[in-house]
């Protein structure tokens, strides 16, 4: 086991984690960003939730700027979309984006800012002394790496770091939602991206709601497989009814991280 030391270690490379890492590094802090997948952006990229939500109040007034606006603008640096220039009239300062484009832009921002990025690296443990988090253990192709820092930021989305450190957490329920990017010749509208359809498949409200009260590796597996099963059934139904065929409606890519929206959070 070898050890690395930083001023700031950000755990989780989603949009929030990237923003935290950029903010720290731009202030001259030696910063690490640790991400379990190989793509920054979290649900926005690996999760295919390719809608950058409004930075306004819905009535033509911008409420959020700074790094949030910087990332929204960067999301399509290598893609075809852009924020609506008429948003002050329409009331929505937002955009859709290409997930692949967003990944490339985030890579570039992190590189230029000097963040030490650790991809394909999962937090597996931590050391707490006198109620202070001192170091974390990260598993990757090198084995187990111990990372120490003056400050740790938990941007995992499920309070994974806080949970491992012994903080009390609470849980909530999740309804089934599977986001896909698909080819669908019969469905093209405002939410299309370069001829492809972006779809969020929701569970019937009357069907079972999955609870994360017993969040576990098995629960995550079951949740993901159930979502994909429902998508298969949707396609089979359309094919059987003649509404589409496997040549006119099919998935181009699926999520590569679990679409769990409300896993666990710290008790606060």
231 lies in some domain: yes
- The mean pLDDT of 117-143, rounded to a whole number, is 96
- Could you tell me the residue range of the domain that residue 134 belongs to? 2-50+98-164
Domain boundary among 138, 164, 190: 164
- Which tokens is 115 given? 């963040």
86 lies in some domain: no
| pLDDT at residue 111, as a whole number | 98
- The mean pLDDT of 56-66, rounded to a whole number, is 92
Same domain, 126 and 255: no
**Tens digit of pLDDT for each residue in 99-125?**
999 999 999 999 999 999 999 999 999
Rounded to a whole number of angstroms, the CA Rg of the chain reads 20
CA-to-CA distance for 197 and 190, rounded, in angstroms? 9
Whether 239 shows a pLDDT value over 90: the answer reads: yes
| pLDDT at residue 192, as a whole number | 54
The percentage of residues in the chain with a pLDDT greater than 90, rounded to a whole number, is 58
Instruction: Say which CATH number the domain at 153 has.
Output: 3.50.50.60
Same domain, 110 and 9: yes
CA-to-CA distance for 61 and 124, rounded, in angstroms? 43
**Tens digit of pLDDT for each residue in 41-55?**
999 999 999 999 899
- Global pTM? 0.91
Same domain, 153 and 198: no
**Tens digit of pLDDT for each residue in 186-201?**
665 555 565 566 666 6
- The mean pLDDT of 68-82, rounded to a whole number, is 93
Q: Which residue has the higher pLDDT, 20 or 168?
A: 20
Whether 98 shows a pLDDT value over 60: the answer reads: yes
87 lies in some domain: no
| pLDDT at residue 267, as a whole number | 83
Structural domains counted in the chain:
2
Domain boundary among 164, 189, 215: 164
| pLDDT at residue 194, as a whole number | 55
CA-to-CA distance for 76 and 98, rounded, in angstroms? 6
- The mean pLDDT of 29-50, rounded to a whole number, is 96
127 lies in some domain: yes
The answer to whether 75 touches 95, Cβ cutoff 8 Å, is: yes
Same domain, 22 and 134: yes
């Amino acid at each position: 086991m070898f050890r690395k030391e930083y001023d700031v270690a950000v755990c989780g490379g989603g949009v929030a984690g990237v923003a935290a890492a950029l903010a720290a590094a731009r202030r001259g802090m030696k910063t690490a960003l640790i991400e379990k997948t190989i793509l920054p952006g979290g649900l926005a990229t690996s999760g295919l939730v390719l809608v950058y939500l409004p930075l306004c109040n819905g009535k033509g007034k911008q409420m959020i700027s700074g790094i949030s606006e910087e990332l929204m603008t960067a999301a399509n640096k290598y893609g075809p979309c852009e924020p609506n220039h008429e948003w002050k009239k329409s009331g929505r300062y937002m955009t859709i984006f290409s997930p692949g484009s967003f990944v490339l832009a985030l890579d570039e921002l992190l590189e230029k800012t000097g963040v030490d990025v650790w991809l394909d690296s999962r937090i597996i443990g931590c050391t707490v002394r006198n109620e202070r988090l001192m170091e974390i253990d990260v598993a990757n192709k090198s084995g187990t790496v111990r990372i120490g820092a003056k400050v740790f930021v938990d941007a995992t989305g499920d309070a994974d770091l806080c949970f491992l450190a012994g903080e009390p957490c609470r849980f909530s329920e999740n309804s089934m939602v599977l986001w896909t990017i698909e080819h669908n010749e019969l469905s093209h509208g405002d939410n299309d991206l370069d001829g492809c359809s972006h779809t969020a498949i929701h569970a019937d409200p009357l069907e079972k709601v999955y609870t994360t009260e017993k969040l576990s590796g098995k629960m995550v597996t079951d949740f993901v497989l159930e979502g994909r099963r429902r998508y298969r059934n949707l396609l089979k139904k359309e094919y059987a009814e003649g509404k589409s065929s496997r040549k006119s409606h099919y998935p181009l890519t699926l999520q590569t991280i679990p679409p769990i929206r409300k896993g666990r959070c710290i008790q606060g």
